[in-house]
Chain A
Amino acid sequence: MSVADLLWVEKYRPRSLDEIIDREEVVSRLKSFIKIGNVPNMLFVGPPGTGKTTAALALVNDLYQGSASGRFLELNASDERGINTIREVVKDFARSRPSTGVPFKILILDESDNMTQDAQQALRRIMERYASVTRFILLANYQWGIIEPIQSRCAVFRFPPLSPTHIREGLIRVLEKEKVSWSEEALEEIIKASRGDMRKAINIAQSASGGSKKLTRESVLQVVGVLQPREIREMINEALKGDFVSARKRLAKLLYDDGLSANDILREMNTELMTIEMDERKRFQVVNALGDANFRVSMGADAEIQISTVLAALMADFQK
């Protein structure tokens, strides 16, 4: 028995390109690849919950017409054994080229912008060497997290946050299948909290409907409070107040206890820093520090140390 049927996000993930909403342009391009029976290396770029994995899996499913098993593999790039694992997997692929049908296999590489620059260089060589037997679909939050030589070898597809209309549509589809009743205000709150992230929207809906099969504004608000990463805002506030030691402790908790990726922490900080009340001159200094930290982490520097500089920037006074 799989855990997939316990979680709505997985249970109702679109299986085919035809089921995907709000991505007409992406979907039509992907379909044209299927028609000619060949796909290029691809890079799917967008924030979490915008359908990158879903599109990749649906493509695989449609391409191999349901018998995809053994012909594609999903790997997580941020594993530090990553690049060697990928090399091994691709080698095995090359050895067992399928005799009939589509003459290549597909490797989906999740979170590929979490790879260091060195790992990406190695990946690029692998992509070149095995080009004839393997196509790569790289999934990433940021395009600039991927080195230029890889970008130029890929067809780039963008996955911007979903529009409120499409989040609503997706939610209603799931709620109807689960026979959950909902109020209009509840839906509004979910859409607001999801910020265009379909996975988050569905997760909130599942948590808030609980055992009762009813979605109310109150139950949604309660869940939103728990599922949102408030820790990051608190960390920023502590730094703004000048309590660096507490802010750094919280950062360590996020990195090591919760095990969050530096990428996620930096993205969330970026979102917060754009909206939090702050002198504009200071804001650009702090956001600049965040950019430096982001770059250095992707070069292989230590996340805690680099992000600490952003916390220190929040404490500094840039008036003069």
Chain B
Amino acid sequence: MSGSKLSWVEKYKPKSLDEIVGNDAAKKDFIDWLQRWDERGKAAMLHGPPGVGKTVLVEVAASALGYRLIETNASDTRREDYLENVIKPAAFNRSLFSSRLMVFFDEIDGISREDSGALNFILELIETSRVPIVMAANDPWAPSLFRIREKVYMIPMHRIRVQSIVKRLRDICRNEGVKCKQEVLMLIAERSEGDMRAAIEDLELLYSSREDVDLDEADKILSYRNVERNIFETLRMVAFAPTLEKASTALSSSEEKPEDIFEWVFENIPHVSPRQSLYQSLRYVAEADVLFKQISKNSMWRLLPCFYNKLASAFLVISQKNRASFSFPNRMRERFKRFQHEKNLRELESFFMKDLHVGRAAFRRDLIPLLRFLSKNEDFRKSLLNRMVDQHLKELYNSIILGEARKRFS
């Protein structure tokens, strides 16, 4: 669940230009461009692999040079009202605002080629804007950017060197007060492939709850992340595949377990699909669920391609896809906790069901809320606890019935 604690990526996000590691040429280039910007200079595009600091460079440079940043990402740009009512006034009516403005389109390669509305809007904006337009893209060669590319100043950013990443990681460790072995930091940095964000995420994964980690252990833990990356990659290919054949091939050539892929699809479909197509999309997912239960029960593995086709169709049926970032399936993360909780519920209910002629479903539906309510009464609580001999049972009562009661009635 969400905690108030900042992730290390957030916590150690650069706040000044000096804190941005690597890409010195791009930094200088961008600042120069901004400083000599006039209304003919129009737009610039920072492009490069993920996690090299594109977004953060724009944010830091804006604040250093006294710009207020109007930020949009791929999902905002498909909202016409947002473009018309927020971006347009910002780009034309700078006198309305006290400070200077800069319009920033993040993840611009996430706009699909079909979304000509957003693309035309941006093209027109580049021509007519009275404030700087900045864009960031992983893949500047995306076909959708074909026309935009010709009109903007391109600033390439590169993968960050292993040594620079190690140095940054060591600083973070020092600040967090964790001991870390040089070889583990090297491992993290090498695995990150120049992606500072991924490196810091891995570092937090390894050290936030442990004192020290040796190389073998780190390797084991991080290879789990590897799986995660592979699934990300598969999912990205499937979600944006142009044909059923390509999508199905991406699924069947993945080395991940079909049931895991399924969980990832179920988790992420709502992020990719707009409201209107979600129903159609989820129907395919639901059919895939039924099919997979049959396949695994009866060992009909030759039907697996049909399962993959259904999952692929779940994406293909979406005509306008959001370029969302994928997230880890909640169901997989919570699996163990839910299993434990279910065990506790059963233990508690078997005590009550012994004396009350009530089924499991009815116990949870009718009796738990009733017990919660009646337990507000001290006498009732005491008489109930008197009837519970087992200490563990009392604890379950306290956590499941009273714990919730406290939350609801305090």
Give me the interface of A with B, judged by CB distance under 8 Å: 1-4, 6-7, 9-10, 13, 48-49, 53-54, 57, 74, 76, 78-79, 110-111, 114, 139, 199-200, 203, 206-207, 210-211, 223, 226-227, 229, 242, 244-245, 248, 252, 256-261, 263-264, 289, 292-293, 296, 299-302, 304-306, 308-309, 312-313, 315-317
In the assembled complex, which residues on chain A have CB atoms less than 8 Å from the CB atom of B386? 1
Which of B58-66, B161-169, B187-195, B334-342 faces chain A?
B334-342
A75 nearest in chain B by CB position: B359
In the complex, B283 has a CB within 8 A of chain A = yes
Instruction: Give 8 new A-B contacts, CB below 8 A, not counting A312-B281, A316-B276.
Output: A7-B356, A10-B356, A206-B370, A256-B334, A259-B364, A261-B360, A301-B286, A313-B279
Q: Are A260 and B338 in contact (CB under 8 A)?
A: no
In the assembled complex, which residues on chain B have CB atoms less than 8 Å from the CB atom of A317? 276
In the assembled complex, which residues on chain B have CB atoms less than 8 Å from the CB atom of A301? 286, 289-290, 293
Beta-carbon contacts under 8 Å, B263-290 to A = 266, 270-271, 275-276, 278-283, 285-286, 289-290
Q: Are B361 and A304 in contact (CB under 8 A)?
A: no
In the complex, B368 has a CB within 8 A of chain A = yes
Q: Are B286 and A293 in contact (CB under 8 A)?
A: yes
Give me the interface of B with A, judged by CB distance under 8 Å: 266, 270-271, 275-276, 278-283, 285-286, 289-290, 293, 297, 330-331, 334, 338, 341-342, 345, 351-353, 355-362, 364-370, 372-374, 377, 379-380, 383-384, 386-387, 408
Q: Are A316 and B278 in contact (CB under 8 A)?
A: yes
Cross-interface CB contact of A312 among B278, B362, B367, cutoff 8 Å: B278
In the assembled complex, which residues on chain A have CB atoms less than 8 Å from the CB atom of B355? 2-4, 10
Known contacts: A305-B289, A309-B286. The answer to whether A261 contacts B276 by CB under 8 A is no
In the assembled complex, which residues on chain B have CB atoms less than 8 Å from the CB atom of A305? 266, 285-286, 289
Q: Are A309 and B282 in contact (CB under 8 A)?
A: yes
Complex Cα distance, B366 from A203, in Å, reads: 8
Q: Nearest 6 pairs between A and B by C-beta?
A: A110-B359, A261-B361, A316-B279, A312-B279, A2-B355, A312-B278
In the assembled complex, which residues on chain B have CB atoms less than 8 Å from the CB atom of A256? 334, 338, 341-342
In the assembled complex, which residues on chain A have CB atoms less than 8 Å from the CB atom of B366? 48-49, 199-200, 203
Q: Are A289 and B377 in contact (CB under 8 A)?
A: no
In the assembled complex, which residues on chain A have CB atoms less than 8 Å from the CB atom of B374? 6, 206-207
Q: How distant is B279 from chain A, measured CB to nearest CB, in Å?
A: 4
Complex Cα distance, B84 from A213, in Å, reads: 63
Q: Are A111 and B384 in contact (CB under 8 A)?
A: no
Q: Are B270 and A245 in contact (CB under 8 A)?
A: yes
Cross-interface CB contact of B387 among A2, A54, A226, A229, cutoff 8 Å: A2
B262 nearest in chain A by CB position: A305
Complex Cα distance, B364 from A98, in Å, reads: 36
Q: Are B357 and A74 in contact (CB under 8 A)?
A: yes
Known contacts: A74-B357, A244-B278, A309-B279. The answer to whether A3 contacts B290 by CB under 8 A is no
Known contacts: A6-B383, A229-B365. The answer to whether A76 contacts B270 by CB under 8 A is no
6 pairs, A vs B, C-beta closer than 8 Å = A3-B384, A4-B355, A211-B377, A245-B270, A259-B341, A264-B361
In the assembled complex, which residues on chain B have CB atoms less than 8 Å from the CB atom of A7? 356, 367, 370
A79 nearest in chain B by CB position: B360
Complex Cα distance, B270 from A316, in Å, reads: 13
Complex Cα distance, B263 from A308, in Å, reads: 13
In the assembled complex, which residues on chain A have CB atoms less than 8 Å from the CB atom of B362? 48, 110-111, 199
Complex Cα distance, B334 from A7, in Å, reads: 34
